[in-house]
Amino acid sequence: MQEQPARAWNRPNDAGLSRPGTREIQMRREVTLASISHRPPHGCHTPEGREAFRENLRAHRVTGEAYAGPLPVRVSPDGSVALEFAPFDEAVEPYLAKGLRLLNFPGTFLGDARGFFEEDHQWHGLELFSPGFNQAFTGYVHQVARHLREKGWLGHTILQLWDEPSRETREIHRRLASLVRAVAPDVRICLATLPDSELLADVDIWNVPLPDGYAEPAIRAFRERGGQLWGYDSRLYSLDVESSSIEMRAYPWRLWRYGFSGAEWWSVSEWLGDPYTELDRCGGQNGGGFLLYPPREGAGAPVNSIRWELYREGVEDYDALALLAQRHAAACERLGVPNGSFDVEPLLARLTGRVARSIADATRNPRDVIAARELTDRLIEMASASPPCVARFKEDRKGVFLEGLTRPHAQVSFGGMKARANAAGRVRFALPDEWRL
């Protein structure tokens, strides 16, 4: 199967995923779902190419890439460290000014599932966990963290030590994390691997391989410690799946339903050959490692895939769910709604359940996504009205309906319908067939 690069898919109706005559809530530019592209862009190494690549990331609601800029460092055999922050600052300042909000802590990413990145298995010529290494590594982390803290950038930073560590290298990660914790406890450590109870104390952001890595007991224990969940699902690169586009839009719905606040793409531009004609160069998976195409003329902005455009729309759906949660909570406070009577969690679970059937599976029917998004937007409007109205799904012999709570006798609008609340502030709306969940 060969994918046609997207053209004007930035308009929802062009994608066949919005019903004519309906109105979508316009989302703010600050995204709720934290996305990061793990590898720097292939073919975008000129300043102009990198600028175009980052413009594309921001337009598609990605909050950062792994590499923000160079940080020259000199490490002496005695463990002393000298850093030159000027080139790093010159790169990060415009990076953040562009609206990108995530970057990797530089210089600490040492290996992945294949082993050490460096052939000699050393860090700046020092053997891991030797006295010289321990002194230099902790000194380096301390200096960089202090600089990021002083610049106000530490909150934008994640620190990665190892990617998908094996059983043998998990102990390396644990020991490295303890060194980081000793000198910079406020740095967020991010780890991509299967959840492991032995590593809970060493991780702040758990990047879970989906769907197989979702293990409820370990994830529950991690959440109880205040950890943050990200996910990555490499199956979604594939062009060999007929439903790949709709699955890309449904992916953020899966993330919301199961409590994930971030997503990682190990690369969005892994062009091992000519992706316009050779689509199976990455492990036999068509589309593996890329969601963008290189510029056709060899320079300029990357070309969007349909999958990439649909992912952007899915992140906007995720934002709509987040906005509904915020507006619903604010409306409950304004109305003095008792806890437990109109909680937002069951409402959101009903909405996301139509799209995200499980952690592994989502609808293949675009109408399900349309209905869930339109209903989300109408509920946002109700909660944002004056006076506000909060809602919940109820069921009787005739089926599911929407029950609202607002000020007594207030008029409420819902999807073109209007009704007046009773003396208790209750109002009821039948759900149109296309919105039935």
- Which band of pLDDT confidence, cut at 50, 70 and 90, is reported for residue 8? very low
Residue 309 to residues 7, 77, 157, 161, 406: CA-CA distances in angstroms?
10, 49, 26, 31, 38
In what helix (H) or strand (E) does residue 231 lie, and over which residues does it extend?
strand 228-232
In a domain, 10, yes or no: no
**What are the pLDDT digits (tens) for 83-105?**
999 999 999 999 999 889 999 99
Q: pLDDT tens across 250-308, in order? A: 999 999 999 999 999 988 888 888 888 887 777 667 888 889 998 887 778 899 999 99
- Whether 312 is in a domain gets the answer no
Q: Are 274 and 398 found together in one domain?
A: no
Cite the DSSP H helix spans in 225-343.
244-257, 306-335
Domain count, the chain: 2
pLDDT at 12 over 70: no
Residue 138, domain CATH: 3.20.20
Which domain range does residue 38 map to?
23-307
Residue burial 138-170, b: 16+ Cβ < 10 Å; e: rest: bbbbebbbebbeeeebbebbbbbbbbbbeeebb
Give the separation between CA 429 and CA 121, rounded to whole angstroms.
65
260 Rama sector, left if φ>0, alpha if ψ -120 to 50, beta otherwise: beta
**pLDDT in the model for residue 38:** 64
Give me the pLDDT at residue 309, please. Answer: 95
Residues 266 and 379 in one domain: no
The answer on 427 and 287 residing in a single domain is no
Same domain, 130 and 36: yes
Quick check: helix, strand or coil at residue 403?
strand
pLDDT band at 323 (very low <50, low <70, confident <90, very high): very high
Q: Assess contact for 74 and 81: CB atoms under 8 A.
A: yes
In this structure, of 15-29, 337-351, 365-379, the range with the lowest mean pLDDT score is 15-29
Contact between 38 and 66 (Cβ < 8 Å)? yes
Domain boundary among 275, 307, 339: 307
Contact between residue 360 and residue 419 where contact means Cβ atoms under 8 Å apart: no
- On whether residue 235 sits in a domain, the answer given is yes
Q: Which of 307, 339, 354 is the last residue of a domain?
A: 307
Is 351 in the same domain as 393?
yes
CA distance 241 to 247: 9
Same domain (yes/no): 256, 341: no
Instruction: Determine the Cα–Cα distance for residues 131 and 78; give it in Å rounded to an integer.
Output: 9
124 found inside a domain: yes
User: What pLDDT digit, counting tens, does each position of 154-178 carry?
Assistant: 999 999 999 999 988 999 999 999 9
Inter-residue contact 419 to 411 (CB < 8 Å): yes
Distance of CA 53 to the CA centre of its chain: 18
More confident residue, 203 or 33: 203
Q: What DSSP string runs through 146-160?
A: HHHHHHT-GGGEEE-
Query: In this predicted structure, what is the pLDDT of residue 22?
Result: 44
Same domain, 182 and 69: yes
Let me know whether 199 and 345 are in one domain.
no
Q: What is the mean pLDDT of residues 5-21?
A: 38
**pLDDT band at residue 24, thresholds of 50, 70 and 90?**
low
Does one domain contain both 140 and 253?
A: yes
Which pLDDT does position 16 carry in this prediction? 34
- Between CA 389 and CA 150 the distance in angstroms is 44
Half-sphere exposure of 383 (CA within 13 A, CB side): 29
- pLDDT at position 282 is 73
SS3 92: helix
| 316 within a domain of the structure (yes/no) | no
Shared domain check, 356 and 228: no
- Say what the pLDDT of residue 255 is: 96
Are both 239 and 104 inside the same structural domain?
Answer: yes
In a domain, 296, yes or no: yes
CA atoms within 13 A on the CB side of 322: 19
Percentage with pLDDT > 70 across the chain: 89
Quote the pLDDT of residue 42. 62
Alpha-carbon span 293 to 295, nearest angstrom: 7
pLDDT tens per residue across span 380-426:
999 999 999 999 999 888 888 999 999 999 999 998 899 999 999 99
Count of C-beta atoms within a 10 Å radius of residue 197:
11
Whether 132 is covered by a domain: the verdict is yes
Q: How far apart are CA 49 and CA 310, in angstroms?
A: 23
Asked whether residue 2 is domain-assigned, the answer is no
Indicate the range of 23-37, 140-154, 405-419 predicted with least confidence.
23-37
Per-residue pLDDT reduced to its tens digit, 189-244: 999 998 888 888 899 999 999 999 999 888 988 989 899 999 999 889 888 777 78
Q: 363 and 279, same structural domain?
A: no
pLDDT at 312 over 50: yes
Predicted pLDDT at 275: 86
CA distances to 307, 354, 400, 429 from 395, in Å:
37, 17, 4, 12
Residues for the chain: how many in total?
437
Query: Are the C-beta atoms of 293 and 270 separated by less than 8 Å?
Result: no
At residue 13, the pLDDT reads 31
The fraction of the chain above a pLDDT of 90, given in percent, is: 63
Q: What is the pTM of this model?
A: 0.90
End position of a domain, from candidates 248, 272, 307: 307
* Average pLDDT over the chain, rounded to an integer: 88
- For residue 141, is pLDDT > 50? yes
